[in-house]
Amino acid sequence: MNSCPFCGAREVGRIGRERYYCRDCCHEWTRGGGEVKIYEVMSDGSVEPLITECEPISRVVSRPAVRRAG
């Protein structure tokens, strides 16, 4: 099943042999040899690689809610 590796949407389009596009988050990705690479589509139509294969996708910056008195 094809779903967006970035946002998980199922409304994805195939734009190439191993290339897909997600309308929800406007990202492209390729699946070559089991390796998924995600590209961000810029406003001018160019694409930039977003995440390397080693980096976890859910890299959210979260701060513990610590309050300092004083």
Query: 């910056």: which residue's tokens?
Result: 61
Taking a C-beta distance cutoff of 8 angstroms, is the pair 38, 27 a contact? yes
* Token pair recorded at residue 50: 């977003």
Nearest-approach distance from CB 52 to Zn ion, in angstroms: 18
9 forms part of the interface with Zn ion (CB under 5 A): yes
Q: Nearer to Zn ion by C-beta: 9 or 57?
A: 9
42 binds Zn ion (CB under 5 A): no
Binding string, residues 11-40; x marks residues near Zn ion by CB under 5 A: -----------x-xx---------------
